[in-house]
Amino acid sequence: MTAISTAYQQSTVQPPTSLPFDERQAPAVRLYPLSNYTFGTKEGQPEEDPSVKERLRRLEEHYEQHGMRRTCEAVLVCHEHNHPHVLMLQIANAFFKLPGDYIPHSSDEIEGFKARLNERLAPPPTSSLSTRDTPAEADWNVTDTLAVWWRPNFETFMYPYLPAHVTRPKECKKLYLIQLPKSKVLSVPKNMKLLAVPLFELYDNTQRYGPQLSGIPHYLSRYRWEFVDEEGNVVAWTPGAAVDVRVKTKVLAGDGMDGMVE
């Protein structure tokens, strides 16, 4: 046996043990493989505003009529090769955004948010895909608020805090963690692409994704992940707590995302 092939054998030497390091942590979040999900397309959804200038103008009109705009976006996490991936939309092969949008001024926050997610990602009622989900799978499990961003003025800049001199912010955007079920059907507008972006690609990559999206690995670092295979077995997890199964790695096929995963 050559030295190269020997190097790839699994070591029989166990790592040294250490005391538990799992105090004051959020509950573990179970991630299912990307291949568990079904993806389709539906009619395109053109952006409401042809330019940033028009978007800010419409924001000003909204503020004059209804006050501060409330915007909700979803952080949908699954796994590929036992590494967390975030599902996000890409428009015109350039612009990245999370699923979600501003909610109507008269809507309840969570119900309005779920309605926006259905507009973006739910299959059309006439589609054969719409009957594949159970009622629980068709719903959105809004688990936790990950981040809050503020727009102080009618400008493009948003901040992860409200400046002390600002008493009337123009927009508040919340990023929510959505706990994906074991399986789910998602339909993407034809003029967009749905990408599964690994955390290491987002981290510290403000040039490509901007400060809000590149900050997602920071928001998610408080969670422990349990990675589940297609049969529902926990096969790997992030360190921090004991799990009663042996760690092993499984490479997922992910055929359902051909042409959609970056």
Neighbours of 124 (CB within 10 A): 12
pLDDT at 262: 34
Residue 189 · residue 46 · CB < 8 Å: no
Cα torsion 77, 78, 84, 90 to 10°: value is -60
Q: Is the pLDDT of residue 8 over 50?
A: no
Band of pLDDT at residue 137, cut at 50, 70 and 90:
confident
Q: Give per-residue pLDDT as tens, 39-97.
A: 989 999 888 887 889 999 999 999 999 999 999 999 999 999 889 999 999 988 888 99
pLDDT at 131: 76
pLDDT at 9: 57
Lowest-pLDDT range of 122-126, 129-133, 136-140, 217-221: 129-133
Cα torsion 93, 95, 98, 99 to 10°: value is -60
Q: Which CATH architecture has domain 25-257?
A: Alpha-Beta Complex (3.90)
User: How many residues are listed for the chain in this entry?
Assistant: 262
C-alpha closest to that of 191 among 258, 129, 120, 118: 120
C-alpha distances out from residue 125 to 32, 131, 133, Å: 25, 8, 12
The domain segmentation of the chain, as residue ranges, is 25-257
Average pLDDT, integer, range 167-179 = 97
Band of pLDDT at residue 240, cut at 50, 70 and 90:
low
- Contact residues for 257 (Cβ-Cβ < 8 A; gap 6+): 34, 39, 196
